[in-house]
């Protein structure tokens, strides 16, 4: 059964249950809610989805370390990225997504990333070259990246005993 933990909820889930961080374009009013579509598509899997998109986001928050709600959001995201098994990263073509680009740099070598970067994203070349260099799977369509994450979750759920058959 799928479970979603949304920022700033506590990052608590059963040991051994795989978790996927939904990194990517959020720009409110510009990016579609692709995170919900991913959760809906993978709802039959026993996984935790860590979603940084929060309904109570206030665009007027000062983005500095002294603003407690902003700091809480950033720290939640950093902790979730560190603790998850996989990161599904999606770049919406009509967005700039600077934080997602930062996260790509932070996790390119982690072995956790699955990247969706459709045609039209303003830094598609940078994304593709970085992913190629570090062996990160990159997909032109979000649906293909979601399928790959689903396969990875299924493999993790199978565990070593089932995989040895």
Q: In angstroms, rounded to a whole number, what is the distance separating the alpha carbons of residues 16 and 87? A: 16
Please state whether beta strands 86-90 and 19-24 pair in parallel, antiparallel, or not at all (unpaired).
Answer: parallel
Contact criterion met (CB below 8 Å) for 121 and 127: yes
Contact criterion met (CB below 8 Å) for 37 and 2: no
Q: In angstroms, rounded to a whole number, what is the distance separating the alpha carbons of residues 99 and 81? A: 13
Any idea how long the chain is?
165
**In CATH, 3-54+68-160 is 1.10.3720.10:** no
Instruction: Give the ranges where 42-135 is alpha helix by DSSP (H).
Output: 68-83, 98-107, 124-133
Domain-wise residue ranges, the chain:
3-54+68-160
- Model pTM greater than 0.75? yes
Q: How far is CA 95 from CA 72, 108, 110, 119, 126, in A?
A: 24, 20, 25, 12, 15
- pLDDT for position 144: 98
pLDDT (tens place) for every residue of the chain, 165 residues total:
789 999 999 999 999 899 999 999 998 778 899 999 999 999 999 999 999 998 777 778 889 999 999 999 999 999 999 999 999 999 999 999 999 999 999 999 999 999 999 999 999 999 999 999 999 999 999 999 999 999 999 998 777 644 333
């Amino acid at each position: 059964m799928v479970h979603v933990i949304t920022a700033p909820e506590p990052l608590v889930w059963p040991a051994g249950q795989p978790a996927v961080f939904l990194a990517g374009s959020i720009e409110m009013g510009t990016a579609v809610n692709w995170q919900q579509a991913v959760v809906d598509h993978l709802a039959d899997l026993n996984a935790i989805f860590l979603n940084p998109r929060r309904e109570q986001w206030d665009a007027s928050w000062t983005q500095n370390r002294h603003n407690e709600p902003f700091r809480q959001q950033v720290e939640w995201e950093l902790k979730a990225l560190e603790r998850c098994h996989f990161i599904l990263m999606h770049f919406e073509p009509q967005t700039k997504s600077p934080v997602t680009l930062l996260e790509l740099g932070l996790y390119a070598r982690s072995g956790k990333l699955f990247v969706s970067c459709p045609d039209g994203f303003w830094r598609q070349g940078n994304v593709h070259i970085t992913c190629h260099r570090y062996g990160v799977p990159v997909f032109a369509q979000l649906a293909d990246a979601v399928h790959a994450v689903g396969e990875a979750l299924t493999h993790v759920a199978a565990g070593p005993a089932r995989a040895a058959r």
